[in-house]
Amino acid sequence: MKTRVAWLDSKHSFSFGEHYDPDNTHHGLLLVNNEDIVSPGQGFDTHPHRDMEIVTWVLSGSLVHQDSLGHSGVVYPGLAQRMSAGTGILHSEKNDSWRLAADRGGTGEHTEPVHFVQMWVVPDEPGLTPGYQQLEIDEELAGGGLVTVASGLPRYRDRTAIAIASSHSALHAARMAVPGRARSVELPEAPYLHLFVARGEVEMEGVGTLYEGDAVRLTRSGGQRIVANLPSEVLVWEMHARLGGQ
């Protein structure tokens, strides 16, 4: 499913907005996996969310976040970012390429699109206090293995970059086949897994070749090896419950 307007090219793994398919609403606790490309100088104006854990992962360019609770930040590749909508929050997301242009000695004009993946998972309970968190993890990604980006799972408490209020979910990321980094990772075992190839091309054991933008949903699985054929970036949701119960 796709949404394409003058300033936005968006691909949806699940039902989103006007694209509704009753047979494709979620996997495990993951409700949204949107791959967005936003044109220079454009973005999402202020809009509301509630009762959702929202994780944003930038692949290229930069995205500026501002919300009604006074949180603000610039999200760029290698920065983990989470917004807990809870009882309700308003926020905007804009292409921040002017900042990059200015940093490089340019005029400060909007010059680059921003390419990112936004993912929503269900929190443990409704009505939580809204919140925001971001953390630089580029150094941790340098090894090429799976890095735990966001998690509520107790097993990852000591190695999680940012916390989410979903005690059955964890998001992992890996950059593979970059010079000096590992070419393969092994998927964790879980009742529900969602693998998204954000960049590059990989081979998945038992499945075959996956290309940029491909996603795989697995149940009662794990242990499969993912091997990168070229520089690649993958996002893996590990989930131990599903919407509506275990």
CA dist 238 and 103 (Å) reads 37
The reply, when asked if residue 93 is annotated as ligand binding, is yes
DSSP 78-120: TEEEEEE-TT-EEEEEEE-HHHHHHHTTS-------EEEEEEE
The reply, when asked if residue 47 is annotated as ligand binding, is yes
Within 13 Å and on the Cβ side, how many CA atoms surround 209? 6
Cβ neighbours of residue 200 closer than 8 Å, sequence gap 6 or more: 176, 177, 212, 228, 229, 230, 231, 232, 233
CA dist 176 and 36 (Å) reads 22
The reply, when asked if residue 194 is annotated as ligand binding, is no
CA dist 143 and 159 (Å) reads 15
The reply, when asked if residue 26 is annotated as ligand binding, is no
Cite the annotated binding site for Fe cation by residue number. Answer: 47, 49, 91, 93
Cite the annotated binding site by residue number. Answer: 47, 49, 91, 93
